Amino acid sequence: MERVLLDQVIMTDYGQFDLLWAGYGFDGIVERFFDGQVNGLVGASNPDGVYINLARRSGGSDVRIALRDEPPGMNSDSSWEDIVEVSFTLPEGHHIRWTSWGDENSGELRHVPSGSYRLRVSAKGRDEGHDGEFSEEVIDHYLLEMWPATPEPDAILLSCSQNAEYWHETWGSRR
C-alpha cells in the first residue's frame, strides 16, 4: 500500500529541500549531511534530518512524497533519470516536517511512525532544471518514496544526468 503525503510544486531557493524531525536543515556544512556516503544528491548522515539537493537554483519543483509498506520495484520502462537510496531513523516522539531554504515553504508529513526507513529519491529533469534554473515553468520532478527497513549504506541506483554526476563527484564519494 502507498499513502501520498505530499504532492505539490515546492518553491525553493538554492535547490534546498529538507525532511527534518529535530534541529535545522542544511546549513552549508556538507560533511554534516554527506559524511560516509557515495551519493551527492540526498544527505542522510545527520541524525536530525535528510537534505535533498534539487537541481534548480530558484523556482518551483514538482515534489511527491509517498509512504509505502514495502520497497518499490525498479521499473525498467521508467522515465526517471537519477535514483538514489538512503536510510534514516525517525526517533520516538518526533514528527517529520518538510521545508525549503530558509523555511520559505514548509509543512508536516503526518502519520509517519517512528522507526528506521529507506528513502528512494527519483528525479527527472535535473539537467533542464539546472540549465533553466530561473524558469517560470516547472521543469524538474522528484518522487520520494519511504518504507520501513533496516538501515543500509546509501546507494546510487541510476545516474543519467550530468547534474547528478557533478553532485555525486562533488558532495558524494565520501565513503
Residue 13 confidence class, pLDDT cut points 50, 70, 90:
confident
Q: Is it the case that residue 21 has pLDDT exceeding 70?
A: yes
* 108, 144 Cβ separation under 8 angstroms: no
Percent of all residues in the chain with a pLDDT value above 70, rounded to a whole number: 97
Specify the higher pLDDT residue, 16 or 132: 16
pLDDT at res. 170: 93
pLDDT by residue (tens digit) across 54-88?
998 888 899 999 999 999 987 656 789 999 999 99
118 Cβ partners below 8 Å, 6+ apart? 71, 85, 86, 87, 146, 147, 148, 149, 152
User: Could you tell me which residue, 15 or 98, shows the higher pLDDT?
Assistant: 98
Residue at 92 is within a domain: yes
Instruction: Tell me whether residue 162 is in a domain.
Output: yes
Question: Which residues form the domain of 8?
Answer: 2-170
Using the predicted structure, report yes or no on whether residue 165 has a pLDDT greater than 80. yes
| Tally of structural domains, the chain | 1
113 belongs to a structural domain: yes
Is residue 175 in some structural domain?
no
Identify the CATH number of the domain in which residue 166 sits. Answer: 2.60.34.30
Whose CA is closest to 160, among 131, 123, 130, 133? 123
Query: For residue 130, is it within any domain?
Result: yes
Predicted TM-score of the model (pTM): 0.94
b vs e for 120-155, b when ≥16 Cβ sit within 10 Å of the residue's Cβ? Answer: bbbbbbbbbbbebbeeeeebbbbbbbbbebeeeebe
